[in-house]
Amino acid sequence: MKTTIVLLFFTLSIALNLVSQTTESFKDERDGKSYKTVRIGTQTWMAENLNFDTTYSWCRDCEVYGRLYSYEAATWSCPEGWHLPSDGEWTTLVAYLGGYTIAGGKLKETGLTHWAKPNKGATNESGFTALPHGYRSLNAVLNFQTKIGWWWTSTPAELEPQAWSIRMESKNATVIRIASARFTGLSVRCIKD
C-alpha cells in the first residue's frame, strides 16, 4: 500500500511538472517581434516558429506559422542569446517528454485550427505549441501545410548535403528524426543559450 501511494505521488508530480511549464516572452531586437517562450525540463525554447525575414527564408501566413528557412539561413537566423538547437538538444526534449513514440502529441498544438484531421494524440502538455507549416521543396513548392511540422537541427547529417531535422505529423503522436536536403525550407525553433 505504501509503495502504491509513493508511486502515485511520483506519477502525479511528473504529470503536474509537464502541464505547468514556465511561459514567458522574448522580444527580438532585430525586428521588434515578440515570441512566447517555454521552459521544458532544463531547456528554454521559443513557443512559436521563428519569423525573422532573411535571405533564403519563405512563408505563407508568416504571422501564424513563422518562416521556412534553408539550412544555412537557419544556422544564422536565431537572435542573440538563442541558437538553432542541435540534434542532441532535440533528443533531450523528446526524451523528457517520454520518447519518440509519444512526444509529438505533447508538443503539438491541440485542435484543428492549424492542424489537419486527425491531429492524433495532440495535448500540447509541454506548451511548445508545434505548428504545421509543412516544407518548401527544392522546386519552390510549399508542401503539406497543416499536415506536417518540420524543423531544422544544427547538426549536419553523414550524407552531404543534408542535415538532421525533426518532423511531426497530423496522423500520429510521434516525433520523427530524419536527414533533409539543406536547400529544403523548414521551420525553426530557437533554444536559449
State the total domains in the chain.
Answer: 1
Give the separation between CA 44 and CA 35, rounded to whole angstroms: 12
Would you write out the chain's pLDDT as a tens digit for each of its 193 residues? 554 443 333 344 444 444 446 779 999 999 999 999 999 999 999 999 999 999 999 998 999 999 999 999 999 999 999 999 999 999 999 999 999 999 999 999 999 999 999 999 999 999 999 999 999 998 888 889 999 999 999 999 998 899 999 999 999 999 999 999 999 999 999 999 9
DSSP class of 79: P
Give the separation between CA 163 and CA 70, rounded to whole angstroms: 10
- The pTM assigned to this predicted structure is 0.87
The dihedrals phi and psi of 122, each to the nearest 5 degrees, come to: -70, 120
* Residue 91: partners with Cβ closer than 8 Å, 6 or more residues away: 177
- What nine digits make up the cell of 137? 521543396
Residue whose C-alpha is closest to residue 150's, from 127, 132, 170, 129:
132
Give the separation between CA 40 and CA 114, rounded to whole angstroms: 23
Cis ω for the linkage preceding 161 (within 30 of 0): yes
Task: Answer whether 157's CB lies under 8 Å from 108's CB.
Answer: no
Task: Answer whether 56's CB lies under 8 Å from 188's CB.
Answer: no
Structural domain that includes position 102: 2-192
Give the separation between CA 175 and CA 169, rounded to whole angstroms: 8
